[in-house]
Amino acid sequence: MHTHGSGTKLDSQGDAHPAVAPALDCKNAGVYSPPHLPLRAQPKWATEACRTGQKADETPVDVQMHDGRGKNHQAYLWQYSRPGATVVFGFRLGRGRDGPRQFLGQFEGLLQTDGYAGYDQIGGRKMVHAGCWSHAERYFSEAVQLNPQDPIATAIVARIDELFAIDAEARSQRLSLEARDALRQQQSRPLLV
């Protein structure tokens, strides 16, 4: 075991040491059901989290290796969160699906990701993969840049921009998660039919 720069104790795989596990609300509540932590009675927010979903993303970070090469290695911080709650980070030396597979275990709620294949074939049978509008919009915007007269790509970008405007309105009004959800149900649903 070693200590990360922030003082968090990590084992050799970069997983949080069991001594700090109680601070990781998402894991302890059984939302992710990791195999190495006991499940507890799920609080109300854990049930809500399954309804509203989880988000996962990975970010490259340079780490110094003690292998004598004198070069940094590109590792990854895997971020797991749900709206308005604790964000948990898992550290991995690689970008393979072992990290999210171990962390999420047999999670069966909604998982929103950027579409990276590392999230494929993980979680329980009832887990639903949801895409990210920002990542989808990026590809259609690139299509519009290549062909500004493309009627399909142009219409899709305009529709996604309308969805983003609804969230911008929610942020400007500082709406609660519940109020934001109600606004989305009212204004976004017609755009997605």
pLDDT value at residue 27? 40
pLDDT value at residue 9? 37
Query: Whole domain around residue 121: which residue ranges?
Result: 2-130
CA–CA distance from 77 to each of 39, 108, 130, 150, 189 (Å)? 24, 22, 21, 38, 33
Across 30-34, 131-135, 162-166, the highest mean pLDDT is recorded for 162-166
pLDDT value at residue 6? 37
pLDDT value at residue 66? 81
Do 122 and 161 sit in the same domain of this protein?
Answer: no
pLDDT, tens digit, 9 for 90 and up, residues 60-109: 999 988 877 778 899 999 999 887 778 888 899 999 999 899 888 888 88
- Residue 30, pLDDT > 70, answer no
Dump the DSSP string for 88-108.
Answer: EEEEESS-STHHHHHHHTT--
Do 97 and 25 sit in the same domain of this protein?
Answer: yes
Do 114 and 137 sit in the same domain of this protein?
Answer: no
Domain count, the chain: 2
Do 105 and 24 sit in the same domain of this protein?
Answer: yes
